[in-house]
Structure 1
Amino acid sequence: MTWALNSCFLTLAVLLVWQMEELAEACSCVPAHPQQAFCNADVVIRAKVVGKEDIKVDNNIYGSLVTHFKYNVKQIKMFKGPSQNIDAIYTPSLSSVCGVTLKTNGQEYLITGRLNDDGKMHISLCNFIEHWEALTATQQKNLVQRYETGCDCKINRCTSIPCVIGGPAECLWTDWIVEKTARGNQAKHFSCIKRSDESCAWYRGAEPPKKDFLDIEDP
């Protein structure tokens, strides 16, 4: 009997650890350059978070209600998205399913996300979300002047040497190799812009693109 109980407890413990590991690994995102995050998003806004509510949302996978956070926001500027203002943003309450935690003390954020069919904006840890003041001056300007013009280009993230580029319409993103972070020099100061010959190259600066562009060695 003792052996059976010990075996039962051991099985339950293994299952509990397995479930915890499964939850911990449930949210997995590939880091994206801010320009790529901008191009992939349905909505990109600068907003001030002014409140938070817990709400229940239907879970289409398991057929049950799950808790989400509804962040009430005051939109300051829309860089990409629908014609109407965004006044609320939704996200899962658990980080294990990529839920996002935002400060509600009037903190200003740059927020990228998707727009559902019901017109609601949803965000996850896989979106690019940053305190507005933490953005570089170049990033702030690129939201208006640069990122959208380079959405036809592909930013190829280099994770190991040698880095491989697939074609002339790609920019090689080396922050992960050079600085061991997805928020390095290229992410902070460069955008990938299409040139007149349809090739793409990194560009740094606030002036309109010129004939000559910076190559990947410049960062």
Structure 2
Amino acid sequence: MSDTILFDYWRSSASYRVRIALNLLAIPYRSVPIDLLAGEHKQAEHLARNPQGLVPALSIDGQMLTQSLAIIEYLSETRPGSSLLPTDPPGRQRVRALSYAIAMDIHPVCNLGVVFHVMQQSKDPDAARSAWMRKFIGEGLAAFERMLDNPQTGEFCHGDQPTMADLCLVPQIYNARRWTVDLSVCPRAAAIADRCERLPPVARAHPDQVTLSNAKPR
């Protein structure tokens, strides 16, 4: 079987989700950095892996997979004993809804391309970026907090073990703290993320733990 290779960027939320999944499922992998700030994701070599020019891309089982949630669902379906998605249809629907609330509602308006465009429209690009991040991350997490007001919420977003929803939440809370979002709007979500981060497989996926050869802070 060929090696598993993750093409990622150290601070990419989507890549962070997949790193957590690989670690939780104990899937050995090699990381190949794609420097978004240097535009490596738009070069022909990476476009051959992912025509969208995004990260992550995961080479596994003789295939090249893209889109973080689709990757996580694939891993959940192909690795025995995975609990990243519940076994019951209502549970899977709830976990997907929680995951999508972050990955499809918060993340897209806060990704690199959108934020760079916002900065270009402002006379104070850094202030515009910070205000944009705080607004959309804060509002999105406040809505996510309301979704957690559900009897199926346990130690984690759904029940008492991490699911795909937690894999989405952890990077989003990381981003919220990076942009000094007021987390008082989402105490339960923040507590769940903290609980996740105490798990060794999750801690190893943190951007600060990515090897120096992968991390390219700017």
Global fold match (TM > 0.5)? no
Flag the structure with higher helix content.
2
Q: Relative contact order (C-alpha < 8 Å, sep 6+): which is higher? A: 2
TM-score, L = length of structure 2:
0.24
Flag the structure with higher strand content.
1
Which one has a bigger Cα radius of gyration? 1
TM-score, L = length of structure 1:
0.24
